[in-house]
Amino acid sequence: MTLPLTAPQKRSLLLAVTIIGATPSSPSQNSIPIPSADIFIEPEVIDNNTQPRRANAALVVLARNSDIDGVIQSMEQVESKFNRKFKYPWVLLNEVEFSAEFKKRISVLTDAPVSFGVIPHDHWFQPDWIDEERAKEGRKSLVRQNIIYGGQFDYLYRNMCRFNSGYFFRHELLLPYKWYWRVEPDVRYFCDVDYDPFLFMEDNNKIYGFTISMPDWEQTLPTLWSSVREFIAENPQYLHPDNSMDFLSDNSGETYNLCHFWSNFEIADMDFWRSEAYMKYFEFLDEKGGFYYEPVQVGQFTKMMTPMRYVLLVLGIIVGLHYILSFTHDEYGKATSVSRITDFISGSGSPHRETIPDQYYKPPDPVYTLDRKANATFVMLVRNSDLSGIMSSMKQLEDRFNRKFNYPYVLLNDEPFTEEFKKYISALTHAEVEFGLIPKEHWVQPPWIDEEKASAARDSMVNQNVIYGGSVTYRNMCRFNSGFFYRQELLQKYRYYWRVEPDVKFFCDIDYDPFLLMQDQQKVYGFTISLFEYPETIPTLWQHVRGFIKENPGLIPVDNAMAFLSDDGGESYNRCHFWSNFEIADMDFWRSEGYSKFFDYLDEKGGFYYERWGDAPVHSIGAALFARKDQLYFFDDIGYRHEPSNIVPREICTRNPNVGVTQVKISTMSGIRV
């Protein structure tokens, strides 16, 4: 709906936002006329009892700092295919401290909690009681046989096998959890996982879930089975009568047929590993030294201790991998075929296939029929040093909107993007991503600017504690965003853009296409937040705006939004502006005769450098003067935060399910459509 502007409401359009934590140099809020009933804040606490039921579970990754690329790839897939819906926490473990860069780049990949842990020395390294000469001879023997990870320097692999067999579930970060899903670097998930496997395991008394089974290398475990048989003979009380010995042995336990579940994927109960029976079993094997004298990994005991009904083959999660390998590797196909697994496993409740009940599935996402798209793109002005911040913004934007709509990205920089930057950004989306270098003449301070005058202005602003007052680079950016970004070669083919900055937050899912809304309703400028500009940064801006209007009255439409900019018919500027770090707009509007002349006029005055004109007031004044007010659009349903301000829509959307959420209700003012 559209309401006329009343006298007390003239400035109230800027209150399309809750200002959080205004800085000391912000305009005093006491000077802002607050309209009655136009904006009010209602605290609302989300009832935790309405949250969906969850298992006490975590996703566990054992990785090194050098595994960063592989971990990112795996986590992105798990998040996309499963955890975006379920938000289970992540625990990453390393034998050394994770680097700050590793933590930063991993943490932005998920909205779930992420913990980083160091493995205790005695849980990781080769024990002192191991005979190193004997272990070294064992490694040499395996090298001669061309056994994978058998070599002189592959003792780290043995450390890992021993840790995964008997120590990971004892780590202090995992002690609070019962269930885990093991995730390794550089794995692939081909299908969406739309149900909760942790709850399925919990409700159906499962303790171990797997996807792939294959034979082990016989040369790596020559004495393992004899040690297993010895343990069984000494501890028969620990074996379940309905165990899976037939999976392990073709002759009732006399010999081992080498079958095992491939443990790089497992969803299991850590309380099972912590049980008396398994702990005694692991300690018995550990004392034999086979982890170092032979590269063995404990997994067989699971099958002997566990009743048949406790073992689950989660067939649907990576069935694509099974089929691909079966088609391309004959021996692998023979070893891992479902029929072979079921041949080995007998007894009640065969684990090779179980139907997942509907109760464990999340409701399906809406089906989007993308029969048409706008000619639009996301635009990001960033530097290589902004990598973590822009990854965070892109991850949220993809999760909240673009994974459904698949609009392209254009990233611009005044220096060449590094290959590392390009690789990490491109991995965040399935949409097209292009990287552009800004021409020098579009970015740097023009040669006709009087540097002595500009330098004096900067010094004066520094003395006044004006934010970015001493920065030339900030001024370059404001001038570029005001009049040059839409002229970039990579953007010439697009009409609409959505500006995205590093380290912003999107609180709510965006289930419609704002680009098509702008196109179909003939809008030219969309915003979320409006506030005051610092008066010290624009002392002469309005007098030059008035000069342009006087010289070019034919470019100003009658039904413009001057009332948003001025409380006295254009005599003075009330400093209201749309915060341009979020804007969805029509670049053809910026390319129009009216705005182009307006920008060139202002640019010639030098105010971007002699003062500190920002792109936000320049864009806002341009949109308010050269567009009809019904062509401006307030996106009050997009939950958004750019420090220090945010907007939360009329309908509550979750920022943190455990804290209250502030809801802002705003009326329509000044003829701008919502």
Structure tokens at 140: 């040499």
Per-residue model confidence (pLDDT) at position 361 = 61
Contacts of 557 (CB under 8 A, 6+ apart): 626, 627, 628
Domain 119-355 of CATH type 1.20.140.10: no
Q: Give the confidence band of 218 by pLDDT, cuts at 50, 70, 90.
A: low
Stretch 84-92: mean pLDDT:
94
Per-residue model confidence (pLDDT) at position 335 = 38
For the chain, what are the domain ranges? 1-21+39-44+453-461+521-674, 119-355, 371-438+484-519
Cβ neighbours, 10 Å, residue 547: 14
Structure tokens at 544: 């030059």
Structure tokens at 249: 């042995």
Q: What angle do CA 668, 670, 674 make, to 5 degrees?
A: 35
pLDDT (tens digit per residue) in 308-359? 334 343 332 222 223 333 333 344 333 333 444 444 333 433 344 456 666 6
Per-residue model confidence (pLDDT) at position 288 = 84
Per-residue model confidence (pLDDT) at position 635 = 87
pLDDT (tens digit per residue) in 136-155? 776 676 566 555 544 544 55
Burial class from Cβ neighbours inside 10 Å (0-12, 13-18, 19+) for residue 452 reads exposed
Pairing of strands 525-527, 632-634: parallel
Pairing of strands 179-183, 266-269: antiparallel
Mean of all residue pLDDT scores within the chain: 78
Q: Give the confidence band of 639 by pLDDT, cuts at 50, 70, 90.
A: confident
Whether the domain at 1-21+39-44+453-461+521-674 and the domain at 119-355 fall into the same CATH topology: yes
pLDDT (tens digit per residue) in 249-282? 889 889 888 888 888 899 999 999 999 999 999 9
Dump the DSSP string for 364-387.
PPPPP--S---SEEEEEE--GGGH
One CATH from 3.40.630.30, 3.10.129.10, 3.90.550.10, 3.40.640.10 for 1-21+39-44+453-461+521-674:
3.90.550.10
Pairing of strands 90-94, 114-118: parallel
Dump the DSSP string for 181-206.
EEE-TT----S---B-HHHHHHHTT-
Q: Give the confidence band of 239 by pLDDT, cuts at 50, 70, 90.
A: confident
CA distance 524 to 12: 22
Per-residue model confidence (pLDDT) at position 598 = 97
User: For 48-53, which contacts have Cβ atoms below 8 Å and span 24 or more sequence positions?
Assistant: 48/657, 48/658, 51/657, 53/199
Per-residue model confidence (pLDDT) at position 141 = 66
Structure tokens at 255: 């010999």
Per-residue model confidence (pLDDT) at position 644 = 65
End-to-end distance of the chain based on CA atoms, in angstroms?
Answer: 7
The mean-pLDDT minimum among 3-17, 350-364, 554-568 falls in 3-17
User: For the sheet containing 18-19, what is the strand order?
Assistant: 18-19, 645-647, 640-642, 505-506
Structure tokens at 632: 């401006």
CA distance 585 to 522: 11
Stretch 552-578: mean pLDDT:
93
Annotated active-site residue 583? The verdict is yes
Per-residue model confidence (pLDDT) at position 307 = 45
Between 185 and 299, where is the model more confident?
185
The mean-pLDDT minimum among 120-134, 365-379, 587-601, 639-653 falls in 639-653
Q: Which entry of 79, 202, 266, 583 is annotated as an active-site residue? A: 583
Per-residue model confidence (pLDDT) at position 364 = 55
> Would you say 618 and 482 are in contact if contact means Cβ atoms under 8 Å apart?
yes
CA distance 48 to 58: 20
Burial class from Cβ neighbours inside 10 Å (0-12, 13-18, 19+) for residue 89 reads middle
The DSSP call for residue 503 is: T
Q: Is the pTM of this model over 0.85?
A: no
The mean-pLDDT minimum among 93-97, 401-405, 594-598 falls in 401-405
Pairing of strands 57-62, 90-94: parallel
Structure tokens at 296: 């063995």
Q: Give the confidence band of 400 by pLDDT, cuts at 50, 70, 90.
A: confident
> Would you say 434 and 492 are in contact if contact means Cβ atoms under 8 Å apart?
no
Tokens 């997942």 belong to residue = 356
The mean-pLDDT minimum among 9-18, 202-211, 483-492, 601-610 falls in 9-18
Structure tokens at 497: 């853009």
Q: Closest by alpha carbon to 347, among 241, 251, 232, 253?
A: 241
- Report for 188-192, 491-495, 566-570, 668-672: range of highest mean pLDDT: 491-495
Q: Closest by alpha carbon to 663, among 45, 13, 43, 35?
A: 43
Q: Closest by alpha carbon to 94, among 123, 125, 63?
A: 63
The mean-pLDDT minimum among 22-36, 91-105, 188-202, 449-463 falls in 22-36
